[in-house]
Structures are given as C-alpha cells and as structure tokens.
Amino acid sequence: MKALTIVLFALLLGLPSVIAEQYRDFTAGMKACHESYHALADMPNKTGRQAIHHAERMASIYEDMIGFWRQRNAAAAKWAEQGKAALVVLAAAAYSGDSARANEAFATVGQTCKECHDARRVKLPDGHYEFKHQW
C-alpha cells in the first residue's frame, strides 16, 4: 500500500513535466516548420533535393502534431492530417519534378498553418505566441 502511494505520488509529480516537455517539442517543431516553409516559399519550382528535404521534415513534424492534437482538439487534428497529406503529395511531386502539383500542395499546407493559428494560437503582448487553452 505504501509502495503504491509512493508510485502514485511520483506519477502526479511527473505529469506536469511530461506535459511541459510536449509543449516544448511542439514549439521546436513550429520553429522548424517556419524555416522549412519559408525555404520552400523561396523556391519557385519546389522540386528537387532541397524541396524533398523540407517537405519530408515538415511531414514528420505534422505527423507528431496529429498525435498531439488528437488528445486535445479535433479540428486542429484534422488540419494536421490535411497538412500531412499535402506534404506527402508535395514530397512526391518534388521528387518527380512536377512543379505545378508541388506548388498546389504547398498552398494547401499554408492554409493549414493559417487555419490552425487563427483557431488555436494567440499572440502575447511581448510578441511571443501561446496556445489558446480551450480544449
């Protein structure tokens, strides 16, 4: 019984730090998305090795985001899924050299950034961003 109490207590203490770490990972993912998004925006064709690299990097961040949002907000999880699907199309189009398809997929990805930010992100007075905590 005593052992069980100790285990439960340890879990309770540990939980906030697990959550804090998830949020830190999320913000790190956003920063990486920002870099890759702008790298792609600067490429008129969005094809070739660098375009594939950035599309795959974002696809893996979006994949993590799907799990993150499924526990918190269904609409945001849907935008993460749509963005992931568009990033897979973008990576394939970049690989096959199909610039029109790559540009179209990139525009879809950009919409998911905007939709989710409008719904789930707030700008603080100091210019930093935070989560809208209503889930």
- Chain residues that interact with ligand HEC, rule: CB under 6 A: 26-27, 30-31, 33-34, 37, 58, 65, 69, 76, 79-80, 83, 109, 112-113, 116-117, 120-121, 128-131
Residue whose entry in the numeric block shows the structure tokens 């950009």: 110
23 within 8 A of 131, measured Cβ to Cβ: yes
Which lies closer to ligand HEC via its Cβ, residue 9 or residue 129?
129
Q: What is the DSSP letter of 24?
A: H
Q: Minimum distance from CB of 125 to ligand HEC (Å)?
A: 14
90 within 8 A of 105, measured Cβ to Cβ: yes
Q: Minimum distance from CB of 56 to ligand HEC (Å)?
A: 13
112 within 8 A of 79, measured Cβ to Cβ: yes
Which lies closer to ligand HEC via its Cβ, residue 11 or residue 35?
35
Q: Minimum distance from CB of 73 to ligand HEC (Å)?
A: 8
Helix (H, G, I), strand (E, B) or coil at 121: strand
